[in-house]
Chain A
Amino acid sequence: MKADKTLDCVGLYCPMPIVKTSEKLRELKPGEVLEVIADDKGIKQDMPAWCRATGHEFLGMEEAGSEIKVYVKKTHP
């Protein structure tokens, strides 16, 4: 999937990938897509939940070995 920015969270555990995602998303414009790469499996549940809570759009995820790539579209400022 194509993304406008990438955030590397490999080696980080809850709550850091989520906290860093919320920080990073501030750098994007509405409509742009952030790719988050993590290896903590919790992100598979946490990121969709975080998106439901914040209203940003969860576009999906891709798994490659131990790495999980999740895609979030910023929907509002």
Chain B
Amino acid sequence: MAEEKEKLTIVMFSGNLDHALAGFTLATTAASMGMAVSMFFTYWGLNIIKKNEGKIRSQGLMRKMLNFMNRGGSQRLKLSRFNMFGLGTWMMKKLMREINSPSLDELITMAQEMGVKLVPCTTTCSVMGLSEEDAFRENIASLAGAAFFLNEARESKITLFI
């Protein structure tokens, strides 16, 4: 019988650029170590895996307003500190490019190519009016809930909450 892979499970709660970079850096590295990685996106963390282009369709005025003000998408995220109306985030991205550090978008694509599972939280998607087919980038895993996460965490060697 093949040896079962060690697992890493990460809750991505925050939608800040810096938190997302930290999460995907660990996810890609763990995948390179041969671990099976699941990332579970909830609340503002869902913004990380929202599609970058096009409109996010949702039902009802409040949800439409929420998705307008909280548009998300990996290219729209801001730093948790020193955003300075976008100037700080712009500078950080520039500095990262200068040292050839991968962008968040590149890290996400890399993670997906390495088999990292990106799982949106079903309840937050319902609350915020995000549909599995419309709101996210490509190749996202099926929506799942707390039991799914807890079972993954139970079987994991490492569990992180970011």
Q: Which residues of A contact B (CB under 8 A)?
A: 11-16, 18-19, 21-23, 50, 53-54
Q: Which residue from B29, B34, B99, B100 sits with its C-beta under 8 Å from A15?
A: B29
A54 touches B33 (CB 8 A): yes
Q: Which residue from B29, B99, B102 sits with its C-beta under 8 Å from A18?
A: B29
Q: In the complex, how many angstroms separate the beta carbon of B27 from the nearest chain A beta carbon?
A: 9
Query: Across the interface, which residues of B come within 8 angstroms of A19, CB to CB?
Result: 28-29, 32, 110, 114
Sample (30) of A-B pairs whose CB atoms are under 8 Å apart: A11-B99, A11-B100, A13-B99, A13-B100, A13-B101, A14-B25, A15-B25, A15-B28, A15-B29, A15-B32, A16-B100, A16-B102, A18-B29, A18-B32, A19-B28, A19-B29, A19-B32, A19-B110, A19-B114, A21-B32, A22-B32, A22-B33, A22-B34, A23-B32, A50-B29, A50-B32, A53-B33, A53-B34, A54-B33, A54-B34
Chain B's closest residue to A46 (CB) is B29
Q: In the complex, how many angstroms separate the beta carbon of B162 from the nearest chain A beta carbon?
A: 15
Q: In the complex, how many angstroms separate the beta carbon of B2 from the nearest chain A beta carbon?
A: 12
Q: Please encode chain B, from 19 to 35, with 1 for each CB lying within 8 Å of some chain A CB and 0 for all others.
A: 00000010011001110
